[in-house]
Amino acid sequence: MILTRVCSLFLAAVFAQSAMAGPNTPADNSDVLKEKLAETLSVEVHSLQESPIPGLYEALTDRGVLYISQDGSKLFHGNLYDLDKGMKNLTEAALAGPRIEMMKPLEENMLVYKAKNEKHVVTVFTDTTCGYCRKLHNEMQEYNDLGITVRYLAFPRSGVPSANADEMESVWCAADPLQAMTDVKGGKRLKLSKCDAKIAEQYNLGQSFGVNGTPAIVLEDGSMIPGYQPPAALLKVLESTN
C-alpha cells in the first residue's frame, strides 16, 4: 500500500509538471539527465526518449528501463501499462526493438541448436544450474522438431565472477560446446577451461534486458518471456506474434 501511494504521488507530480510545460515537450537537457542517472545510479544509459506519459522520459540502461521526470528530480522504476489496449506492457514494448540490435554483437558467441526445418528462432538466457533450464534443454529435440532453433546466451545466476560463471565459460570453451552443455545439464562435471567466451558480456546483456531469472526467452520480435515454456506452448506464442 505504501509503495502504491508513493507511485501515485509521483505520477501525479509528473502530470502536474507536464500540464505546465505542455505535452511531449522535447527535452533539451537530455545529456544532463543521462549524466545524472549515470552518476546517481551507476548505470550506463543507452538512450533517452519521451515516454508515453508526457513529462516523463524513458531511459534504456544497462539495468533495464528507468523513467525520469523532465527536470531530473523524480525517478520511477516499474512497468507502464496501457489501460486502453488490453493492459499492454509499454515498458516491455520499449525494450523489444533495442534487444534485437543489442544481441547482434554477441551472435557469434551463441550456442545454437538449429532446427533442420527452421521456422522460428528464439534466444534463451540459460544457466547450467537451473532446473527449468535443464528441463528445457532435455526437450531440445522437441523444439527443433517443431522448427524452433534455440540460441543460448549465458546468464550465470550467481553473477560474474563466480564458480557458476567459470563453469559456463568452460562449456563455451569446450571442443564441442553443444555436447558440453548437454553433459553439464545432465549432471556431468566438466574440466575447467578458459577462452574469450564473453560470459560477462552475455550476463550484462541479460541484465540490460531485464532478465532476473532463467530461462528467459527472447522471441523473434524482441519481446521476452520469463521462465520455461513447453515446446508446443512456445510454438503457439511464436505463431501468434508473426
Residues assigned a catalytic role: 127, 130, 133, 157
Parallel, antiparallel or unpaired: strands 224-226 and 216-218: antiparallel
Looking at the DSSP assignment, which residues form a beta bridge with residue 154? Answer: 126
